[in-house]
Amino acid sequence: MARRCGLTGKGVQSGNNVSHANNKTRRRFLPNLQPVTLLSDSLKESFRMRLSANAIRTVEHRGGIDGFLLAARPSELSTDMRRLRGRVAKAVEARNSASA
């Protein structure tokens, strides 16, 4: 399983461990990935994914997974998330046209 956030694409970085004697050895900085289940209000469906803690905060700040996907540019999203964004946009548009 890839160590990459499903929404933001944040992945592994590399750097150095630096000792007190200034010896440098290579190390990896892993993203803080958490398994979460997000509920889409427009699709009435839940989605399981591994997101970074930063992405979880951003999703909640933007009003849920629907708000996050609709506010994001398609170029920022992975192919799976682009498909999900299209489904959410159609559902929102259908609900708005039905209520009008």
pLDDT for the residue numbered 1? 65
The burial of 96, by beta-carbon neighbours within 10 Å (0-12 exposed, 13-18 middle, 19 or more buried), is given as exposed
Q: Which backbone phi and psi does 59 adopt, to 5 degrees?
A: -60, -45
How many Å separate Cα 73 from the centre of its chain? 13
Q: Does residue 67 carry a pLDDT above 70? A: yes
Residues 74-96 have pLDDT tens digits of 888 888 899 999 999 999 999 88
- Residue 39 pairs with which residues in a beta bridge? 46
Q: Where are the domains of the chain?
A: 32-99
> CA–CA separation, 56 vs 8, rounded Å?
10
- pLDDT in the model for residue 100: 66
Is residue 26 within 8 A of residue 16, CB to CB? The reply is yes
User: Which residues, in sequence order, are bridge partners of residue 49?
Assistant: 36
User: What was the pLDDT predicted at 79?
Assistant: 86
Residues 36-64 have pLDDT tens digits of: 999 999 999 999 999 999 999 999 999 99
- pLDDT at position 4 over 70: yes
**pLDDT value, residue 27:** 97
